[in-house]
Structures are given as structure tokens and as C-alpha cells.
Amino acid sequence: MSAETAEEQDLFEDVDLRGIKIRGWLFHAFCLVAALFGVVMLAMLILDVLWEALVGFAIGLDPITFLTSTAHRDPFSAGFIAAIVGSIWLMVFTVIFSMALGIGTAIYLEEYAPDNRVTRLIEANLTNLAGVPSVVYGLLALAVFVNAMRLGPVILAGAIALALLVVPIIIVASQEALRGVPDGMRQGSAAAGATQWQTIRQVVLPAAFPGIMTGTILALARAVGETAPLLMVGVVLESGLIPGDPFSRFAAMPTEIYYWAFRPVTEFHHLAAYGIIVLLTVMFSMIASAVYIRNRYERIR
Amino acid sequence: MAAEDGSQSTVDAITGDVTAADRRRNRRVRRLLFGCAAITVLTTVAIFFALLDNAFSFFYEIRLYEFLLGGEFSQRVSVWEFVAGTQWYPNHGIAPAFGILPLLAGTFLIVVLAAFVAIPIGTATAVYLSLYASPRTRAYLKPTLEILAGIPTIVYGFFAISFITPVLLRGLLGPFGIEVGRLNALSAAIAVGIMTIPMVASISEDAMAAVPDGLTHGAYAMGASKYQVAIGIVIPASLSGILAAYILAVSRAIGETMIVALAAGHSPNLTSDPLAEVQTMTAFMVHQVRGTSAVGSVEYQSLFAVGLALFLITLAANLLNDYVKRRYREEYR
């Protein structure tokens, strides 16, 4: 018995695991540091914005003035309200255009589309659309809606650009939600004699609705922070007027932030930090409400 | 109310009362929804033709549709100058130059530098998530990465000019006597890299999760360490998926606009110096459109020529990504 153990020890005597262990340990450390890098950068980014805002507050930029007045040459009387209202207008029309188009396409692809070449073309095209840079959507809106259709650089044109940009996101989310509805529900409805549209409207859509809403809100959270398409459409960079209708010229929150951050005068950087805090607050509350809807309805089901 | 409607129409369906009308409505809705799907295809077509139409007039002074209707054209900018010219001064009053190479070089510089940040860190994050992280760590790490992915790019741009350049770069390079300008390619590229880390990480992790357990378990059974499994099994087996993640990240970096518009500068430079000011294709477009020139002028149309180049490059990247992804799906079927 003891002889056997001794033999075993001899067998493994020349195996040196130290190198492998050290390499394994170093690799683990490297992966851990990499994973933490993202977290640290997110923390730095938020702290940096808060710090810049704090310095702004210290040099006398009044947050109340910021939230209640329009843009101004003088940073101490400049505010964000025109941009906030502009963003609200944009979101309203982006929701209308993108939901109709996105959910309609998703229903067609999931419920009606035959498996043929046209359907495959539509699906392949969606993957491509999702990869088109946002600034190109702005060019499209500039060429077609602003100039060719003579709409001018107005809220409606900006909203169309944003809607086209987020439609692929809404379609993918809605398709997933529709796929999550069990086929038994469709078959049951069909067995009761309902047409396909009656099945979709009264059985499938209500079941898929929370998923669709979650996807749509997340897409809108993306749209509210988009800057490049709006710059291409042609926003007012220093907006002194609160837009009153969808055919007026406008500024949005991200474009105003861009303008302030772009200026060499440092007071405006602090205004940009104020603006970023407002923008991120709006975005995160949208994301939070999307997560809330998802969790709530998942539990019920 | 909806339920009542439903039962009513069901009864009708069984008794055969309004089925003809219902079927007609079903067909109408189907056509309408197909119209929605068709609009998404039309969007791509519209993007392509709007860019091509205006880019044509950049080169030949008349729009493509006017040319097709038999209009006279005269050369304004030669295609060769655009593709191979090394100077880009579209707004120069006396001697404008229209060579896209400086813009391409600027984009390329940003993408390469950003890849140095995003690829190693993103891949290592994916390895950590799929091999090392406990479920509890994962539950914290993944949402954090999702938030990082959801931050608007304008905020990253602000981060680049208010933190990366003045604090990080000047703090690290200043002691070596290297001067860092207010606008430089490196700081924009680092921000672009940070922005694309979550994308590389999450797509690579999906690819790693698709590696069959049998492969990794087999390696563990042979006595392999985690490091050996990661390097020898998981990464090679998911290589095409990881590659697809890289291509997608590069495509995103090429099209990224606001970070470079804020932090990389506005002078089209044909340089490989990471601390120089460069202008990318996207930054040019944002900068040019601000001094809105008259529709039809060569300055205005240059937006679309550059836009067309950008669109074609990202389209090629996306098609390549699609191809690689399809191959990787077939591997373990």
C-alpha cells in the first residue's frame, strides 16, 4: 500500500505546475481588471459630469434659471427650457411614427409573412438598417424631408429621422414579444373560428403588449439622446424660442449640450454638465419604467 | 369590452354571419402591415438614392435624376480627385480641394486606436463573465455594462473633452514632457473604445456561451486549468462569433459621430500621430452642416459625397459581419 503511494509521488515529481498556476492567476487578474474597467469608467463619467456641474454651481450658475429660461449669449442667464420642450415635441412624434411602423412590420413578419424571398429580403434589410450610422439618417431627412419636400428644418423632420433610426430596435423587440406568445393561444382562437386579424388583435397583441412597450420605451430612451441626426436636419443651436407646434424650428436637449460643450468658454461647459444631468435623468427614468413594466408583467404571467 | 367584441365575432364566425366581411378586413390589414414592412425596405432604398443623387451632383453639377432625364452635365469634381486626393478643403474660396483621404485617414486612426481599447478589454470582460464570474457578480456586472452601452454618445464626447484629455492624458503624458492639445485623436478614440466595450463584451460572451459544454468539460476532465480552457478551448471555438463582435464594433466606431465631433478636432489631417487633431468623415458632416451652405452648392453636396462613402463602408462592414455570423451559427448545429 505504502509502496504504491511512493510510486505515485515519483510519477508526478517532475510535473511543475507553478508556471501554469501563475499564468492562470495572471489571466484571472487581467480578466477581472478588464471587467472592472467598464464599471470604473462609468463611475468616472458620472462623477466627472457631477463635478463639472458642481463647479458650475460654485461659480454662480443658477439651476432654477437653467431650468426655466431659454438659451442666451450670457451663460449666467442661459437655460434649457426650449431644448426640453423641443425634445418633448420630438419624442411625441417619434413615438407616433416609429410605433406604427415598427409594430406593424413586426406583426407582419411574425404573423403573416410567408417564408419566401421577399420576407428574407425584408429581414436582411432590417439587420442592415440597424447598422446604418445615425448621421446618415440625418442626411436622408435633410435631403428628402427638409429640402425635397420643402418641410424645412422643423420638429417633424427631426422626428422622422429619429423614428426611422429606432424602428429596427422596436421591430426586433416586438418580434421577440410576439414570438413569446404560445402558439396554443393562436390555435385556440383559430379553432373558435376567428380570422387571423381577430386572433392578433384580441389574443396575440394583448399578450405581447408588455414586451412591445418595454422595447418601445427603450428605443425612445435611445432616441432622446441622439444628436447627430438632429444636427444634420438643422437645429437652432442657441434656441431662444420655445417651439409651439411641430412645424417650428427647434433645439433638442442633446444638440444644446453639444453646442455648449463645443464652445471654448468654460462657463458653457458647466451648463453642458447641467444639461447632461437633465438628459440622463430623463433617460434613466425611461429605462427604469421599461424595466418596471417588464418585471411586473413577467411576474403576472 | 374587447372580450365581449371577441366573443361576439367568434359567435358570428361560427354562425357564418359576418365572416366574409371579417375576411376582407383580415386581407386589408395584411396588406397594410405588408406596407409597413415595405417602408423599412424603402428606407434603405431612399437612403441609397438620396445619397447617390446628391453625390452625383457633387461630381457633375446636376442631380442624377436630371441627368437621367437628359440634362446636360459638366464635371465639377473629378471622381479620381475625390478618391485619391490628399487634401480636403471644400470651403476654400480660391482653391478648394476635394480629396477624401484625410477624412478616411482620420476615421481609420480613430477606429484603430479605439480597437486597441475595446478589443482586449471587451474580450477579457467576456471571458470573465463566461468563465470566472459568480452568478452574483454577473447580476451586477451585466446591467452596469448595459448602462454603459446606453449612455448617449454626446455624453461620451463631453467626458473626452472634460476628463480624458485634461485629466487622464495630460496627467499621464505631461510628466514625460509630451504636450497634449485641447483636441486630439487619442482622447476621442479612448472614448469611442469605452463606448464599444459593452458591445464587444456582450456579443463575444454570447458566442462563448454557444460553445458546447462537452468541449469545456472534456478539457477540465483532462486536467486543464481555467486559463488553458479559456485560451485553448473557449476562445478558439467561439472565434468567428468574437470576430463578428469586432466587426460590429468597428462598424459602430466608423459611424460614431458626436464623440469625434467634440473631441477629435476639425482639421482634416493626413497623419498617424495620435495626439494630432484629425477630422473624421462623420465629424466633417456635422461641422459642415452647421455653416449651412446653399442647397446645390458644392459645399452642401460634399456632405452627401462623404455620406455615401460612409454608408458604403459601414454597409460592407455589416455584410461582412452578417456573413461571419452565419458561418458561426452553422458550426455547432
Residue ranges of domains in chain B: 97-331
A39 touches chain B (CB under 8 A): yes
What distance in Å separates the CA atoms of residue A247 and residue A150, rounded to the nearest whole number?
11
* Secondary structure of residue B269 in the 3-state scheme: coil
**What integer pLDDT is reported at residue B1 of this predicted model?**
37
Predicted model pTM: 0.89
Cell (9 digits) for A196: 387571423
**What integer pLDDT is reported at residue B67 of this predicted model?**
76
Whole-number Cα distances in Å, A209 to A103, B5, B17, B332: 10, 19, 30, 34
Return the residue in B10, B44, B47, B131 with the most chain A beta carbons within 10 A, the one to mutate for interface testing: B47
A-facing residues of B in 70-129 (CB < 8 A) are 120-125, 127-129
State the amino acid at position A150 in one-letter form. R
* Angle at A146 (CA atoms; ends B310, B312), nearest 5 degrees: 15
Cell (9 digits) for B216: 469545456
Task: Give the percent of chain A with pLDDT over 70.
Answer: 94
Q: Specify the DSSP element, H or E, that contains B97.
A: strand B97-98
| Residue with the three cell numbers 483621404 | B101
Flag whether pLDDT at B74 surpasses 90.
no
- DSSP at B238: T
Alpha helices by DSSP H, chain B: 2-15, 19-60, 64-68, 79-84, 101-127, 135-150, 153-159, 170-173, 185-209, 213-221, 226-229, 235-237, 239-255, 258-263, 281-290, 298-331
Higher pLDDT, residue B83 or B316: B316
B271 touches chain A (CB under 8 A): no
- pLDDT per position as a tens digit, B259-279: 999 998 888 888 888 888 899
The listed CATH number (3.40.50.2300, 3.40.50.150, 1.10.101.10, 1.10.3720.10) that belongs to domain B97-331: 1.10.3720.10
- Residue A257's closest CA among A58, A49, A97, A107? A49
Other C-beta atoms within 10 Å of A249: how many? 17
ipTM of the complex: 0.89
B-facing residues of A in 60-99 (CB < 8 A) are none
User: CA of B130, closest CA in chain A: separation in Å?
Assistant: 11
For the segment B115-136, the average pLDDT, to the nearest whole number, is 94
Flag whether pLDDT at B14 surpasses 60.
no
CATH 1.10.3720.10 fits A68-300, yes or no: yes
Per-residue confidence band for B4, with pLDDT thresholds at 50, 70 and 90: very low
Quick check: B191 and B263 in contact, CB under 8 A?
yes
What distance in Å separates the CA atoms of residue A82 and residue A256, rounded to the nearest whole number?
9
Would you kindly state where each structural domain of chain A is located, as residue ranges? 68-300
B154 touches chain A (CB under 8 A): yes
CB contact under 8 A, B150 and A34: no
Per-residue pLDDT of chain A (301 residues; tens, 9 = 90+): 445 555 555 666 677 778 888 888 999 999 999 999 999 999 999 999 999 999 999 988 888 888 888 877 888 888 889 899 999 999 999 999 999 999 999 999 999 988 889 999 999 899 889 889 999 999 999 999 988 888 888 999 999 999 999 999 999 999 999 999 999 999 999 888 888 899 999 999 999 998 999 999 999 999 999 999 999 998 888 777 888 888 888 889 999 999 999 888 888 999 999 999 999 999 999 999 998 888 888 655 5
CB contact under 8 A, B248 and A232: no
- Residue B203's closest CA among B170, B239, B179? B239
Residue A57 exposure: Cα atoms within 13 Å on the Cβ side: 11
- pLDDT per position as a tens digit, B210-249: 899 999 999 999 988 889 999 999 999 998 889 999 999 9
B-facing residues of A in 215-234 (CB < 8 A) are 221-222, 225-228, 231-232, 234
Signed CA dihedral, A267, A273, A274, A279: sign only? positive
